[in-house]
Each structure stands twice: as structure tokens, then as C-alpha cells.
Structure 1
Amino acid sequence: MSDLIEEWAAAVAETELGKTLPRRWTHTRGVAERAIEVSQVIRQDGSLLVAAATLHDVGYAPRLATTGFHPLDGARFLRDEHGADERLTRLVANHSFALLEAEERGLREELASEFPLLEEPLLVDALVYCDMTTTPDGGRTTAEERVAEILGRYGEDSVVGRFIRRAAPEIFAAVGRVEAALAAQPR
């Protein structure tokens, strides 16, 4: 993968989110910035991480929201309309422990069968880190603050609220692993 996939991802995400969901597009740009920073620990998959970060929320675009579950809708769009790389679609489909939310929505089997989780823990963790340390307005935050913000926005008893409470320990662990990998990088 190369810079070309990053440019393509940015063009697709901006087309789908830029005008219809400007705040989501701002968040997406912030997540992509985190991915550029983290790509040093991913090495040869750095461009894949940046592309996945850039496209992780594309399924929120109103024209793509067929199930109402943005990881699945986004991954299907990337696969079906763009013939996107399988690893990329699997990262988008499973970003930030989406399988747990899919379970809350009755979509676990669909997600797991169409887009199995990648067996690349650091890459998966890196995408979680990028998403969960970025505010809705694209700024930096801690994973704890981000989880609290999501709970506040959606409510504790909503589908998203139930999911994020279940996922929080996994999110914090993934973020911790990436922070440790970043700290171990030579300066």
C-alpha cells in the first residue's frame, strides 16, 4: 500500500461526509491525523492504517446507511462500490470493537461472516487508538474522556451506550498497548 490509497481514502471520505456530515468529517480528519502519527509503529501497514482511519466512519453517510450500523454499511460500500482491499474493509467493519455493537443490534453474525476480524492485533489496536483518542471535533482526548463523551451523547441505556460500556475495558487496553508501543519507539 502507498500514499495513493491514503489519497483515495481521503477523496472518498470527503465526498461522502464533507457536505452531509461536516462534524463527522472533522472527526474523521482528526482520526487520520492520529493514524499518521501512529503509522511509525505499524511500519509496512502505515498507509493501510491511515486509509482505514480516514474511512472508518464513511458508513454514517446518509446514502450509505442501509442497516443503520455504520461499520457494516461503510465496509459494504467500500467492498461493493469501490472493490476496496479486503484488509481495509475488514478494518473498517470491525473498528473500535464493532462486533460488540453488532451483537447489541442483532447483526453480529452478518458482520462476522462478511468481514471477519483481522488477526493483526497491533493494526487493529492502532485503529482503536486513533478513533478513541479523537473528539467529535477532531481534537485530542483520552480514551476515558472519549468513552464518557459517547455515553453522554447517546445515553447509558441506548444501543451505543450499552455497547460502549461493554467495550470500554477493551478500548482502554488497546489504547494502552498502542501507547506502550509508541513509547518504545526510538526518538
Structure 2
Amino acid sequence: MEKTLIYLGGATLIAYLALALIRPGVAADGLESSLEMLLQSTPWIVVSMFTAGLISELVDPALVARLFGAESGILGIFIAAVLGAFGTGSRWAMYPLAAGLLAANATPGAVFAFMTSWQLVSVTRLPAELPFLGMRFTVYRTVISILMAFIGGMLFDIVWAKFPPRN
């Protein structure tokens, strides 16, 4: 992870330097925009990290392993896909939560299903969708999205087992 961060940071720095020589105004505007985004997102990132740390201490890893671990099988992936639809946090909250689930021995497929369902469904967006797309479309899209997250989670576990990470 550190090498990737160093490479991306180096590439970004080189891009800024090159752009500063070619189009200094664009480089300055990009830097200003980046700093504004940093200032806007920093409080969210800090609060989310503290929340994720607290959750990781409050949630029993044995419960996570039982619900979403290897022993839970496809039922664990399905439960994760359904629960992901109820995720209401921002990416700054959900990604640390997903990392916490992995650290508590949830299968990668269950975490994939949780994250995918959160991205595709999120029940907090459904009231905004209903007036524009109607009940039938919203229900079909929600059910199919959860099924896609579930199937994707099963496929993810298969691929993960076939090509395990190299440490």
C-alpha cells in the first residue's frame, strides 16, 4: 500500500510540475481546488476514522465471523448484501467499516456484497427515486441490485480463493 501511495504521489507531483511549466494557471487552479476539497473532506475523514475505530472495538469479531465469515457460507453473503442496502454513511464511513469487517474475519465476498449493495441501493435514496421512476421500477431495481451484490459476492469469494493475495 505504501509503495502505491508513493507512486501516485510522485506521479501527481510530476504532473503538477509539468503543468506548472506548460499552463501555470491551470496548475494553480488545480492546486486551489485540491486544497478546498482537502479542507472540506478532512473533518469527515477524521470523524469517520474515529467512528470506525469505535465500532471496531464495540462489534464482537466472533459475531462478525459467525454472520459473515467462511462458516456462514452463501447465507452470510446474502445477509451482507441485504444489510448493505441499509448503509447510510458516506464513503468516509463505509470504507473503514468494510475494512473493519474484513479485520473481524468477514469473507471478502461478504464485504464485496455489503459494499456493492450500499453503492447500488442505499434505502435512504429510495424516497427520492420513487417519485421519478415509480414503485415498480424502484422495487425491481432494488431487488435486482441486491441479487447482483449477492451473486457478485459469491463470485468474489471464488476469485479470491483462486488468486489469493500475495503477502
After TM superposition, the score normalised by the length of structure 1 is 0.25
* Bigger radius of gyration: 2
After TM superposition, the score normalised by the length of structure 2 is 0.27
* Structure 1 or 2: more helix by fraction: 2
